[in-house]
Amino acid sequence: MKGIVFTEFFQFIEDNFGYEMVDELIEETQPASGGIYTAVGSYPFNELVSYLTYFCKKKEMDPALALRLFGHHLFNVFSKNYQQFFKAQNGSFGFLASIDNHIHVEVAKLYPDAELPKFNIISQTETEMVMHYTSERKLHALAHGLIEKTLEHYHQKGEINTQVLGEDGSQVQFKITLK
């Protein structure tokens, strides 16, 4: 997993729960990396799982909620650092439809070893989009948080319904309905 996810997870934790919590995560989970990450490096996904598991147990927080909130944080980072992708679209559906065919193509050029989730648009009208998320990492709650912030960014209100398509959670359908 790319280091930016780790560095931003730590920033999310620090911003909301203090630096002491970041220190505790590293100390208690004892990751092989030592908790030292660069945004462009690649690190074992299980380290993020360990951090999330420990954090949620410590804070008595549902992991799906923690991932959604982290998705909000990541969206803010992405929209600030990669404005060109957001300015190229005039609405949330256009932006979401551009993820696989444009944004992830550019990310793959920069980080050829990145294992990116797939977002396949199944159907789209002016007020509804059905999108399939596929990832062996099963971080659909993180994607949900990113979608929520996408709607907010484009000043659109909507409802997001999720349906797990496979038993293992690696495939999820998002149905986004604008109001």
Dump pLDDT digits (tens) for 65-74: 999 999 999 9
Q: What is the DSSP string of 85-106?
A: HHHT-SSHHHHHHHIIIIIHHH
Residues 6+ apart with CB under 8 A from 32: 44, 47
Show the DSSP H helices in 60-178 as ranges: 63-81, 83-87, 92-98, 104-110, 140-153
**73 CB-side CA count, 13 A:** 20
The 10s digit of each residue's pLDDT in 72-98 is 999 999 999 988 888 888 899 999 999
Best CA proximity match to 8, nearest among 48, 46, 44:
48
What is the pLDDT at residue 36? 97
pLDDT at site 88: 87
Q: Which CATH architecture has domain 91-178?
A: Alpha-Beta Complex (3.90)
- The pLDDT score that the predictor gives to residue 16 is 97
Quote the pTM value.
0.94
- Name the residue type at position 131: M
Residue 133: what residue type?
Y
- Distance between CA 117 and CA 122 in Å, rounded? 16
Give the closest residue to 105 by CA, choosing from 119, 93, 94.
Answer: 119
Give the model confidence (pLDDT) of 107-149 as tens digits.
888 888 888 999 999 999 999 999 999 999 999 999 999 999 9
